[in-house]
Structure formats: C-alpha cells, structure tokens
Structure 1
Amino acid sequence: MTAEPAHRWGSTLDSVVVYAQGAVCLRLARGSVPPDGRVRVTGLPRSLDPGSLRARVLGTPGVRVTEARVEVEAKPLATGSPYELRREFERLRDAYAAAKGRRDRQLSLIEE
C-alpha cells in the first residue's frame, strides 16, 4: 500500500483573537486544487489541538472540504552519524565524571 504524495500548500498566520480560555488563530493557505482534490496544508503549529481544527474553501464555487485532520510529521533533528553521537556521549560522560570528582573533593575539604 503506497500513498501518493499530497499536493502541499504552505499556510501563514492571518489573525489571532485571544480569549481568557485560549485563542483563535486564523491561517490562510492558497493554491490550485489538483485533479484528485487532495491538498495538504503545512505550517500548522505542533501545539494545535486536533479537536479545534476547522477548514473551509472561499471564493471557489463547487469546491468543498470533506475532511480535515492533523498529522504530525516527524524527522530527526540531527544529521550526525552514530559515531559522532557516541563520541559526544563519551565526552559528556567524562566531563560529568570530572565535575563530580571536583565536587566530591570540595565536599571532603568542607567536612575536614
């Protein structure tokens, strides 16, 4: 089962209305609808409450929204190799051990 890549539209924040219990943010996305009618809107904040998502089409008769859902895309932040990560881990472990040793020496001097 392979999914076709969806046509993507970037969204931009248009307006924000702040209330005591939250805020309503309006985002705009523009583009042409592909023949299959599927569009993926990008640029939504990760803090979006999935139950609060609403979508509508303006200015195009005969086109309507049939589904709106939140999908969180994940990708690794770092592009480092496992060897680089291992070296960084070992460096930090050694730095921690050295700092702990200095602390222990200071505590023993204080006790004396």
Structure 2
Amino acid sequence: MDKATVPAQVAGLNSLKDLGLQIRNSLVNLANGLDSFWTQIHGTLAGLSIAVAAAAVSAISVVGLPAAIVILVGVIGAGVASIFTTISAVDSLTNSIGVAHSADWKRQS
C-alpha cells in the first residue's frame, strides 16, 4: 500500500465516523420525541377519560345535564387540539432530522 493513500483513507473514515455520530444523535432525538409523543397522547386520553366520567356523574341528575354537555364539549375540543399539537411536534421533529441528514449526505458526496 502506498503511504500517500493512508491519509486519504483516514480522512474518509473520520468523515464516516462523524456522519455516524450525527445519525446516532438524530436517532436519540427522534426516540426522545417519540417518547414525548406517547406520554402526551396517554395524558390526553387519561384526561378525556376522567372528563367523560365527570360528565357521566353530572348527567345522572337532570339539573347536571347542561354541565355534563359543557364538560364534554370542552374536553373534546381540548383533547383534539392536544392530539393535533402533539402530532405536529413529532412531524416537525422528523422533518428537521430529514433536512439535516439530506444536507449531511450532500456534503459527504
């Protein structure tokens, strides 16, 4: 092997190492984002369940029926908004990771 080719090979391996580290960091960020996503979804569903139970208890009496309707409408609106916000956050995270990796691949080429 020619001594002149060794530095070029070392530089190539170092750039691959850097790319591998960037991919690892992106995967860790994505995993954290997915954990946050599921935590938020579970919290939203738990809140919806509690509110539905409270509305059911309120609806037992005729006097509480209007309050039950208000509770249901409010919590359904808040739950839907929370789910869309959570999905949007994960979508934004995956888009930013995709853009970063596209730039890394173009730079490596």
Scaled by the length of structure 2, the TM-score of the pair is: 0.30
TM-score (norm 1): 0.29
In proportion to residue count, which structure has more helix? Answer: 2
Greater RCO (CA < 8 Å, at least 6 residues apart): 2
